[in-house]
Amino acid sequence: MEINSLIDHTNLNASASLLDIKKLCDEAIKYHFASVCVNPIYVKTAKELLKNSTVLVTTTIGFPLGASTIEAKEFEAIDAINNGADEIDMVISIGALKNNDLDYVKKEIETIRDAIDGHTLKVIIETCYLTDKEIASVTKICNETFVNFIKTSTGFGTRGANIHDIEIINENKNDILEIKASGGIKTFKEVEQFMSMGVTRIGTSHGVDIMNESCGECDHEH
Across 78-110, b (16+ Cβ under 10 Å) vs e yields bebbebbbbbbbbbbbbebbeeeebebbbbbbb
Q: Are 60 and 89 in contact (CB under 8 A)?
A: yes
Q: Are 124 and 90 in contact (CB under 8 A)?
A: yes
Question: Is 189 tagged catalytic?
Answer: no
Residue 35: closest CA among 168, 141, 151: 151
Candidates 47, 106, 173, 180; catalytic one: 180
Contact between 188 and 168 (Cβ < 8 Å)? no
Q: Is 89 a catalytic residue?
A: yes
Q: Would you call the peptide bond into 64 cis, given omega within 30 degrees of 0 as the criterion?
A: yes
Of the residues 73, 89, 122, 165, which is catalytic? 89
Active site residue 151: yes
Between CA 62 and CA 214 the distance in angstroms is 33
Q: Closest by alpha carbon to 90, among 118, 117, 59? A: 59
Q: Decide if 21 contacts 217 (C-beta within 8 A).
A: no
**Active-site residue (options: 73, 106, 151, 173):** 151
- DSSP state, residue 177: -
Alpha helices in the chain (DSSP H): 18-31, 43-49, 70-82, 94-98, 102-115, 132-145, 163-172, 188-196, 207-221
Q: Annotated catalytic sites, by residue?
A: 89, 151, 180
